[in-house]
Chain A
Amino acid sequence: MSAGAEAQHAAHPPVAHKSSRVDAGTLGMFLFIASEVMLFGSFFTAYFFIRVVNHEPWPPPQFHLPVFVAFVNTVILVTSSFTMHWALQSIKRGNRAGMKAGLVLTILMGLAFLLTQMLEYARIGFNPSDGAFASIFFGLTGLHGAHVFIGLTLLTVASVRAFRGHFTPEHHHGVEIAGIYWHFVDVMWIVVYASIYLL
């Protein structure tokens, strides 16, 4: 081995062997979301267990859920997925302004969702200690709210980087990963909303 090759070898660790089928980034996102699905799954299991063993009308008569307000919140969150998708499509086409606008709109709608949820909590008329239904209601919706907050943090980081010009049509992994997470949060809300408020 030549001296140059040795120096190069010493400066960099050997390239790791990996399967050509599973990209490391995809695997990481898959494992992360799989763990999140299991976390939500445990809360849904508790929710449906309480619902099945409770033979009273569901939800119990003393609890009144603001279905319409939650519907408006659902529309806001689903719309934020459209703007997120628009942001990514924009940067793929080299439209930086579109990406920035899409990210900012997504963040604003995410904030509106969280704010509405906080107002809903303040005016709903019961608290987590008012029985099993109240506990699981705040548990599930609160868990989702925490995920919205994490998503907003990711989107804020992506936005700061977008305004600093870090993303190009070829390199926009930071927006892509945040987008996948945001859509996952939306999918979870659809299930939470349908289960708790509608069915």
Chain B
Amino acid sequence: MARNPFRSEAEAYRFLLLTVGYVALIVVAAAIATWLGVVVFVVLTAAVVVLWVRSRSNEPAMRPAVPTHESAEDERHILVIANETVGGDELLAILRDKSAGVNEQVLVVCPALNSPVRTWASDEDGARSAAQERLDASLARLRRDGVQAQGEIGDGDPLQAIEDALRTFGADEIVISTHPVGRSNWLERNVVGAARERFDVPITHVVVDLEADATVL
């Protein structure tokens, strides 16, 4: 099955060959009988749609070739993926626990959540600046607690953000922070499950209830 025919000439060429085959089958069937042409058109079109949907649903299961990493015994590299919950108490507590007694390196990646239209138009400045503000506040709290943390803004797709980060930051562990079930778009999209399938790195899921935190405060 051809992939996006706009990405490269080779894919466009493959798409052309598939089109030739698709149209030729319909024309031959229609030459035999009009109703047969319609049937072949419907069957082939349905088959193409099914194959396309399947190929899209299989995409998250593909394991990207990201470099693996093994730290020394007294070192721990932790990759944190969090957006609105990046300053949550639960997340900060877990990071403090995981950093205790080891020489930790924490990289906090804050995906710049954006609307699909803005993402396609590469208009990410607003989303990035909002994510940057949350990230700065979170990093300041972590550093106050003695955690060696760095941060960066990632792709709006959390899985893509993890993949991008793993290429430059060898992580022993990934921590994904989300809102509770029912309020989390990431949980609805099964981001944690997809990340566990996709990356060969232990993943910890932290639920941060910002509303409860605010009530306690």
Per DSSP, are chain A's interface residues mostly helix, strand or loop, or mixed? helix
Whether A183 touches B5, Cβ cut-off 8 Å, given contacts A22-B119, A190-B20, is yes
Q: Which of A167-199 contact B (CB under 8 A)?
A: 175-176, 179-180, 183-184, 186-187, 190-191, 194, 198-199
Give the distance to chain A from B150, nearest Cβ to Cβ, in Å. 19
Q: Are B19 and A190 in contact (CB under 8 A)?
A: yes
CA distance A30 to B31 in the complex (A): 34
Tell which of A18, A27, A175, A183 touches B12, judged by Cβ atoms closer than 8 Å.
Answer: A183
Per DSSP, are chain B's interface residues mostly helix, strand or loop, or mixed? helix
Tell which of A29, A81, A199 touches B30, judged by Cβ atoms closer than 8 Å.
Answer: A199
Closest to B125 in A: A17
Whether A19 touches B119, Cβ cut-off 8 Å, given contacts A33-B6, A187-B19, is yes
Q: Which residues of B contact A199 (CB under 8 A)?
A: 26-27, 30, 37
Q: Are A24 and B122 in contact (CB under 8 A)?
A: yes
Q: How many A-B residue pairs have CB under 8 A?
A: 83
Q: Are B122 and A179 in contact (CB under 8 A)?
A: no
Residue-wise interface mask of A (79-104) relative to B, using a CB-CB cutoff of 8 A (1 in contact, 0 not): 00100110010000000000000000
Q: Are A16 and B122 in contact (CB under 8 A)?
A: yes
B contact residues, range: 20 to 34
Give the distance to chain B from A32, nearest Cβ to Cβ, in Å. 9
Q: A179-B13, A183-B13 are in contact. List 6 more A-B contacts (CB 8 A).
A: A18-B124, A21-B157, A85-B10, A180-B8, A187-B15, A190-B16
What are 23 A-B pairs at a CB distance below 8 A? Answer: A17-B128, A19-B122, A19-B155, A22-B122, A27-B122, A30-B4, A78-B16, A85-B13, A176-B9, A179-B9, A179-B12, A179-B13, A180-B9, A183-B13, A184-B5, A187-B15, A187-B16, A187-B19, A190-B19, A194-B26, A198-B31, A199-B30, A199-B37
